[in-house]
Chains A and B, each alone.
Chain A
Amino acid sequence: MKTIIKTKKAQLRQSRPGFFTIIQSFLLSHWHYFTATMSQLSKTPVSTFMTSAALGIALALPAGLYEMMLSVQKVGNEFDNIHKISLFLKPDVSQEQAQKLQIKLKSSASISAVEYKDQKQALEEFKEFSGFGDAINALNDNPLPQVLIVEPSLMYLEPSNLEQLLVTLKQNPEVKTAQLDVQWLKKLFSLISLAKTGVLVISSLLGLAVLLIIGNTIRLDIENRRQEILVTKLIGGTNSFIRRPFLYLGIWYGLLGGILAIVLVDISFLIIKQPLSTLAELYQSDLLTLNSTEISHNIELLTISILLGLLGALIAVNQQLKKIEPT
């Protein structure tokens, strides 16, 4: 308490504010501009909405595509075993021989794991995933062979290496066929990477559009307040002081655009949801779904849009402030 009184007294004697007061008013001034720019925007609701809507649309497209990419990747993960090689053993191979082969293969450097499935397990699985359960029940014998499922080591996951491995595995006398659809794998990999690149390109372009929209809006606002900036410079306002309200304006535009983008994405997903689930039913997959965006993704989107707003404002202000000097 004493020190507070002391500093207050000290301030009264000075013509300049004390260090503590400057920090305090610095923070207060930030709060002031945060609220002041908000009320400035609320005074022109139509133009604020139009700018935010343009930002929202520009942000919604990459955000929505990103969410879809995640869903596709989830479906892709279901086919995790596509890089596994199934070794179907000859019918006359005994269970003992099969397990010996399993141990032998496990010791190879190119293989990280080998799973053994006897005929019963193979049948159960086939019933479950093929959708031919009823037809199989009608069979008296189990037509399926014993299977060794070989998981290649990580460095052998490249399609060309897999093919090499496949040839080697086929040479084992117990093996009747070894199966791996490398072509299909190649296609899927390249499709996913193409989609990823596409989303990245579109996101970058639209991110740039967001920067331009915000930058241009702020530039017009600066132009409208030219006189105020000139007077402020003349009586000793620093550039950072003059920048502050415009930067907050950028933050607000980013925030509003981000919120609108989230709403737009969620509405679009709601619209797509019904036809998509019909499609998923046809494929008997419960993975092909689009849920409304997760909170963590929403926070990411808002962070990005606010940062874009701030950056756009910063670019516009730095460029414009140089041009506004008292003469």
Chain B
Amino acid sequence: MIKFENVYKRYPGSKEALANVNLHLDKGEMAFLTGHSGAGKSTLLKLITLIERTTAGKLTVGGNQLDKVKSYSIPYIRRNIGIIFQDYQLLLDRTVFDNVALPLTISGFSKHEIRKRVSAALDKVGLLQFEKYLPVQLSGGEQQRVGIARAVVNKPAILLADEPTGSLDPELSKEIMSLFEQFNQVGVTVLIASHDLALINEMNKRIIRLEHGKVIS
């Protein structure tokens, strides 16, 4: 599902952020990406979501070879990937419902279908009763669950999360992780960047360690 082959990423005027990365995630696999700050976790995720382009090497995600993708097709490729951010990235002037509905609106689903899918996604993360609230009226953990609902509402094949529990306490973090596990159980490929080693060791999943832009295990 996600395949890095000899991938390099160099930012202008600095040394390599990623060097010769080889990595393969199967369809339906769940893995954690870990390493120190600056090890290249975020860069790796940015390459998958096409926020950054590879400097060299071959990167295939969901059958698309990303190093060959033209910029006008980027939006369509991103629709197949659910992204979850550390700072949630919710639209603060819109209700929880509208936030979760955004990916469906973008893809052009009918109102009826949007209502159905958003309700299902909110129900899944346990926030159905908050659909009319604004994000600021919710706690951090709840806001992150809105972010997750938004990421999965489009039924993407891949779920990416960048430090999803970075600003949550351990209890809430566990809840969030078990949510990811549930999505993985229905066949979604999940890749989570996190440096919360205690938490990810508990999850008993594949752990990919990055150091100075290289995969070390």
Contacts and interface: CB of A to CB of B under 8 A. Distances in A.
Given A21-B110, A326-B51, A234 B105 contact: no
Given A29-B105, A235-B102, A236-B103, A17 B110 contact: yes
Interface string A274-316: 0000000000000000000000000000000000000000000
Contact of B108 (A17, A227, A326): A17
A232 B106 contact: yes
Contact of A236 (B76, B89, B109, B155): B76
Contacts of B145: none
Interface in A195-238: 227-228, 230-238
A25 B91 contact: no
B44 to A, nearest CB: 15
B153 to A, nearest CB: 10
B51 A327 contact: yes
Contacts of B108: 17, 21-22, 25-26, 29
B89 A234 contact: yes
Given A29-B108, A326-B51, A236 B75 contact: yes
A236 B78 CA distance: 5
Nearest to A235: B103
Contacts of A24: 110
A323 interface: no
Interface residues of A, number: 27
Interface string B21-35: 000000000000000
B150 A227 contact: no
B102 A232 contact: yes
Given A15-B155, A28-B111, A234 B106 contact: no
A11 interface: yes
B156 to A, nearest CB: 9
A297 B34 CA distance: 68
Interface in A1-33: 11, 15-17, 21-22, 24-26, 28-29
Contacts of B113: 11, 17, 21
A157 to B, nearest CB: 56
Contacts of B51: 234, 325-327
B83 interface: yes
Interface of A: 11, 15-17, 21-22, 24-26, 28-29, 227-228, 230-239, 241, 325-327
Interface of B: 49, 51, 75-79, 83, 89-91, 102-103, 105-111, 113, 150-151, 154-155
